[in-house]
Amino acid sequence: MAEMLEVSGITKRFGGLVAVNNVSFSVREKEILSVIGPNGAGKSTLFKLISSFLRPTTGEVRLKGERISGLAPHIAARKGVVRTFQETTIFKNMSVRDNVIIAHHLRSKASLFGFFLGTGTAKEDEAAFGQSADEILALLGLSSLAHEIARNLPHGHLRALGIAIGLATNPSILLLDEPFAGMNHDETMRMVEMVRRLRERGLTILLVEHDMPAVMKISDRLVVLNFGQKIAEGTPAEIQANEKVIEAYLGSEDEAIGL
């Protein structure tokens, strides 16, 4: 399998604190790779480095061979590294479908102003985007909610809408930031199925997550961080049997590794 994303010797210092320390790993095409680790291990910082929300102190990130670290986040997103949007970036007073249509404009010729003013190119785009939005909503099982106002959606569906918005920008790799956080068992299982479906459609997925059972179920491989360093990398079975990982989790208040 070809490598989609390559993280090489990446380090992030905040003053005297080394939040991420010389971490390297690759995400292969069509793989689901999860980054796990106890609280404060550096997961969020690593995620921000990969999505270009933070500039590394040293090291680099490459997407299909092209260096993306140091680019502005919206440029990295245009190149294909797309982080799922937080709930706050959803237009709460618009319908589910309109939210997904608007997200398509990140890769559109026409500006977002065109969308609101109804210019020629924007109208053409809108028809194509409408069709694509419908496909995305169907893929995520959200079709019946297309005309629902986003504000009225329950938590799980709002999270799914965040993913739909991410998909609308046509990512090469989708970064999911704690997709199961705050979900009950049924919502988590639905989200696990949804992420699997995305991979079946050819997407590469990198996720950061605390929910160990879900992560073990969904991931092809995992990278484990502790105190900013990578301490292990491997399949769920390898990670669950890894002494360093067990030790790291025994010393933390996080949920057990799922043994």
Decide: is 11 part of the binding site for ligand ATP (CB under 6 A): no
Cα–Cα dist 153/90, whole Å: 11
Decide: is 176 part of the binding site for ligand ATP (CB under 6 A): no
Decide: is 179 part of the binding site for ligand ATP (CB under 6 A): no
Nearer to ligand ATP, 138 or 181 (CB): 181
Rule CB under 6 A: choose which of 14, 72, 138, 200 binds ligand ATP.
14
In the chain, DSSP assigns E strands to: 3-14, 17-28, 32-36, 58-63, 66-67, 81-83, 173-177, 204-208, 221-226, 229-234
Decide: is 86 part of the binding site for ligand ATP (CB under 6 A): no
| Smallest separation, CB 225 to ligand ATP (Å) | 6
Window 21 to 40, contacts with ligand ATP (CB under 6 A): 37, 39-40
Rg value, the chain, Cα: 19
End-to-end CA distance of the chain: 29
Decide: is 229 part of the binding site for ligand ATP (CB under 6 A): no
Decide: is 239 part of the binding site for ligand ATP (CB under 6 A): no
Decide: is 252 part of the binding site for ligand ATP (CB under 6 A): no
Q: Are strands 58-63 and 66-67 parallel, antiparallel or unpaired?
A: antiparallel
DSSP notation for 186-197: HHHHHHHHHHHH
Decide: is 50 part of the binding site for ligand ATP (CB under 6 A): no
| Smallest separation, CB 104 to ligand ATP (Å) | 30
Decide: is 56 part of the binding site for ligand ATP (CB under 6 A): no
Q: Is the dihedral of CA 69, 74, 79, 83 positive or negative?
A: positive
Binding site for ligand ATP (CB under 6 A): 14, 17, 19, 37, 39-45
